[in-house]
Amino acid sequence: MSEKTTDKSELKVSKIKNGTVIDHIAAGTALLVLEMLGITGREGTKVTLSLNVQSKKKTKKDIVKVENRILDKKEINQISLISPRATINEIKNFTVVNKFKVELPEEVHGFPKCINPKCITNAREPPKHSYFVKSSDPLKIRCKYCNTNMNKQDIVKMLLKYQGLTK
Ligand code: CTP
Ligand code: ZN
């Protein structure tokens, strides 16, 4: 198990009974993942966070464990934009019943808000955001309506600023 360690000073994070473990999140970005999923902690459900912990490959990663929640396709696509190598583990009765890697889609729909304030998608209600994924590393998406390019920083900015509106 990835959290197991020979270093006795390190706290082992417990397994969850039912829910989702988002593993192999890019180190230091788990708080962003929580923001995108709209998890504040005030929901009252158990959420465990590990930031900058060692993975089996001896590199650093983040882990988010959310009890009693299954992620939908849109949420998984959002995570793929921020953390393209994350793994989603669905847990039922303490067992991993489904494991898959997030995948950067060829097109992104419904989020984020276009960074161009004059874009037609920002005037429509409900907004219909739609992008072509032009490149994955460095990440670049292009608005289908106004052709504005957005990089990772733009995407994070718009996701965090307007998350409530784009859901
Ligand atoms: N996990 C958990 N609760 C469970 C089962 C698994 O929190 N009831 C967590 C594990 O701690 C791990 C992730 O879910 O972070 C995936 O579990 P598993 O597939 O057993 O671990 P690995 O084989 O190490 O996963 P991978 O090969 O994807 O790194
Ligand atoms: Zn646009």
**Distance from the CA of 1 to the center of ligand 1, in angstroms?**
6
Name residue 136's beta-bridge partners.
Answer: 139
d(CA 38, CA 29): 14
Element (H, E) at 154: helix 152-166
Domain boundaries, the chain: 14-101, 107-162
Rounded distance between C-alpha atoms, residue 42 and residue 14, angstroms: 21
What pLDDT is attached to residue 160? Answer: 77
Token pair 């989020």 is found at 111
Query: What's residue 8's pLDDT?
Result: 62
Give yes or no for residue 96 CB within 6 A of ligand 1.
yes
| CATH number assigned to the domain covering 107-162 | 2.30.30.20
Tell me if 16 CB under 6 Å of ligand 1: yes
CB 155 within 8 A of CB 83: no
Q: Mean pLDDT in each 10-residue stretch from start to end of the chain (167 residues)?
A: 54 89 95 88 93 91 97 91 94 98 92 92 84 94 97 88 54
CB 24 within 8 A of CB 87: yes
CB 117 within 8 A of CB 127: no
Q: Distance between CA atoms of 63 and 50, rounded to whole angstroms?
A: 5
Residue 167 has a pLDDT of: 40
Looking at the CA of 150, name the nearest ligand: 2
Residue 110 φ/ψ, nearest 5 degrees: 90, -10
Q: Residue 147: its pLDDT value, please?
A: 98
Lookup: tokens for 36: 């995108």
> Given this model, what pLDDT does residue 165 score?
41
What is d(CA 85, CA 83) in angstroms, rounded to the nearest whole number? 6
pTM over 0.95: no
Q: Which CATH architecture has domain 14-101?
A: 2-Layer Sandwich (3.30)
Ligand 1 pocket member 87 (CB < 6 A): yes
